[in-house]
Chain A
Amino acid sequence: MNAMPEISPALSAPPAPRRRKAKAVNGSLIAAIGVVVLLAAWDVSVRYLHTPSYILPSPAAVVHALASGLLVSPASPLGYYIPLWSTLRNAALGFMAGAGLGLVLGSLMAESRVVEKLVMPYAFALQSLPKVAIAPLVVIWFGFGDGSKIAIAALLAFFPVLINSFTGLRATEPERIDLMRALSASRFETYRIVKLPSAAPFIFAGLDMAVVYALLGTIVAEFLGAQQGMGVVITQAESVTDVAGVFAALIILGVVGIVLHALVRRIERRVIHWSRRKI
């Protein structure tokens, strides 16, 4: 691990409705071909260019490392399961705290110009800070236990949800707000019945980013010191130059990231059932 990406979560537009089955099959075929080509190039470059294993381990060595982490009893301290569980639990708690706060503050900002003016500059200032730089401070405040992991995960998950929910709520079609006004609906009724569902595609785009950022934040916090977690697995492998072990752990994290993303998309499709067809 080095710098953690300071990607400013650019506002992502609501995802387009899904295409038909044929396209999906085509897509996974292309993805599979990509993986095969990548693995082949990797294997060839290690085999014939005699790259030392401490720079780039062979695919076989990485698969072996993966197997030794996965093909063990879930209770084994040598396997991935215990550290992965610890990382996922802290990431999930941080995600809920950060995304929850982001949604609440984003909503207050969308509803009130005063809150917007008050909060927006700080939100951007906070987002501009390199999180790696403030992570040690967070560890000092929250200790080496789960607290600092959850706090950094929350810190990273907060911003995309804040900005996306704010923008989405403000983007509510004025005709829909007129409708609620003509019915003399209360502010909260308008928020709950019209604005929140209107903003849902934006909010989910924010949650999609936030869930991966929470995982990232947890790992970063674990690098700074932890008893448990995938970050610890990586630092331990690095300390004995077990590059294959590092690769294996990174692959696990990559797969977890994809699964989390897919999970959010699945929930999104369930919740925003009406956007499958354009009205």
Chain B
Amino acid sequence: MNAQASAAPLIAMEGLGKVYEGASGDVRALAGVGLAIRAGEFVSVVGPSGCGKSTLLRLLAGLEPCEEGRLTLADRPVTGLSADVGVVFQAANLLPWMTVAENVALPLRVGTARRGGDPARIAALLQMAGLGEFAARYPYELSGGMQQRAGICRALARDPAILLMDEPFGALDALTRERMNVELQRIWQQSGKTVLLITHSIAEAIFLADRVVVMSARPGRVLADLPVAIPRPRSFDTIVSHPAYAALAREVRGLLNAEGALE
């Protein structure tokens, strides 16, 4: 567990639910989700497709209104968008008409953070992500992995306490994905952010997280909240031979299997 993790939860959810109104009736995405995340923790959320993982993240980001249950960030109810939250989207979602540096600096140009820009910080972020030489390039000149690293830099631009990641590496090939996981672990350890990662990959979830939260099929509930007792820094070479890894992977797989996710 990260040294910066403290006792009081930074993110707290209680009885959190969400219903979407659809053309052919209402769809319940989440039902009674309870979860507490401490500052500095890295939590992965895995679950079957359509289990409401992304809805959970959208509620946390303030992109969807919280109408059912309680959701607090640092003891304050989430009522809307917060500058203390950075979101990393599925696929990098960079704007193709802006250079990498402009994309990463975008959060400092808009909204409440307007004119709060610190060019040195952007350069440092790009440097940290190994994109220093690509600052003036356009997104189409970058590989998928580099684009997503830029997406992470953008989410960190306002120096938020919380980083929400919605299947950020789903579009990448397996090898790039492993490299990105190692990079993300490094970035997380350097920055001390609280991270909530939504993923489909059991390996990725365990590799990165302090805790793996397994969700049920729709409507999404928390099925299990499993601590990952594997020392850091982790590497893919050593983690697979760690006895806790195999046991944990089997448990998560079993839970998902029971939900019909792995048929």
Contacts and interface: CB of A to CB of B under 8 A. Distances in A.
Do A and B form a real pair? yes
A278 B141 CA distance: 10
B168 to A, nearest CB: 13
B111 A274 contact: no
Contacts of B61: 182
Given A185-B110, A274-B138, A279-B139, A175 B93 contact: yes
A183 B110 contact: yes
Interface residues of A, number: 22
A181 B81 contact: yes
B35 interface: no
The B contact surface, by secondary structure, is: loop
A182 B81 contact: yes
Contacts, number: 61
Nearest to B141: A277
B89 A179 contact: yes
The A contact surface, by secondary structure, is: helix
Interface string B103-114: 000110111110
Given A180-B110, A183-B106, A183-B111, A278 B140 contact: yes
A203 to B, nearest CB: 13
Interface in A244-279: 272-275, 277-279
A275 B83 CA distance: 32
A56 interface: no
Nearest to B102: A193
Contacts of A186: 110-111
Nearest to B154: A179
Interface residues of B, number: 27
A92 B91 CA distance: 42
A178 B87 CA distance: 10
Interface string A161-176: 0000000000000011
A176 B95 contact: yes
A8 interface: no
A274 B140 contact: yes
Contacts of A274: 96-97, 138-140
B140 A184 contact: no
A18 to B, nearest CB: 15
A184 B85 CA distance: 11
Given A178-B89, A179-B89, A182-B81, A279 B96 contact: yes
B138 A175 contact: no
A176 B151 CA distance: 12
B63 to A, nearest CB: 6
Nearest to A194: B95
Which has the most chain A C-beta neighbours within 10 Å: B62, B97, B107?
A: B97
Contacts of B111: 183-186, 189
16 contacts: A175-B90, A175-B91, A179-B87, A179-B93, A180-B110, A181-B63, A181-B81, A182-B61, A182-B85, A183-B106, A183-B113, A184-B80, A185-B110, A274-B96, A274-B140, A275-B96
Given A197-B97, A274-B139, A279-B94, 6 more contacts: A175-B93, A176-B95, A182-B62, A184-B111, A275-B96, A277-B141
